């Protein structure tokens, strides 16, 4: 059965076993707000594939690069900001392409270039 990338389906024990880490490590990551698994009605933690990929990134940063959890938090926040900006750029590029293809631009997006002519008058006494 194939699950959606964001669908919470994996129990903490399964995630810990797959990633070869102790479940307490996952709980610590949650306490540090590095990962936020979903909860079932019985308050059981359920992780999605997105959560697992995020944990893999955290493990790489801590194990291979020696980053502490405070540094991981900063890196993850910066990564989220960059990802958001990249998405914004992609959206803007698509909007520009649609505007070019339709040869019209909506009034709220239209650019108007206005030239100003300044005259200088010098008075002699």
pLDDT tens series, the chain, 125 aa: 678 898 989 999 999 999 999 999 999 999 999 999 999 988 999 999 999 999 999 999 999 999 999 999 999 999 999 999 999 999 999 999 988 888 765 666 666 666 666 666 666 66
* Stated pTM of the model: 0.72
- Distance from C-alpha of 75 to C-alpha of 18, rounded to nearest angstrom: 24
> pLDDT value at position 42?
87
> What CATH architecture applies to the domain 10-102?
Orthogonal Bundle (1.10)
The b/e string for 24-47 (b: 16+ C-beta within 10 A; e otherwise) is eebeebeeeebbebeeeeeeebbb
> pLDDT value at position 118?
67
> pLDDT value at position 116?
65
The SS3 of residue 10 is strand
Residue 8 near residue 38, CB atoms below 8 Å:
yes
- Distance from C-alpha of 70 to C-alpha of 72, rounded to nearest angstrom: 5
Domain boundaries, the chain: 10-102
């Amino acid at each position: 059965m194939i699950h959606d990338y964001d669908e919470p389906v994996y129990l903490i024990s399964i995630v810990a076993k797959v990633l070869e880490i102790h479940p307490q490590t996952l709980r610590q990551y949650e306490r540090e707000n590095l990962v936020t698994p979903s909860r079932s009605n019985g308050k059981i933690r359920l992780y999605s594939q997105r959560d697992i990929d995020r944990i893999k990134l955290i493990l790489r940063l801590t194990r291979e690069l020696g980053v502490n959890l405070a540094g991981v938090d900063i890196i993850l926040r910066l990564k989220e900001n960059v990802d958001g900006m990249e998405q914004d750029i992609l959206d803007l590029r698509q909007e520009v392409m649609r505007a070019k293809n339709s040869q019209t631009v909506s009034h709220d997006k239209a650019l108007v270039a206005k030239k100003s002519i300044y005259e200088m008058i010098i008075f002699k006494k």
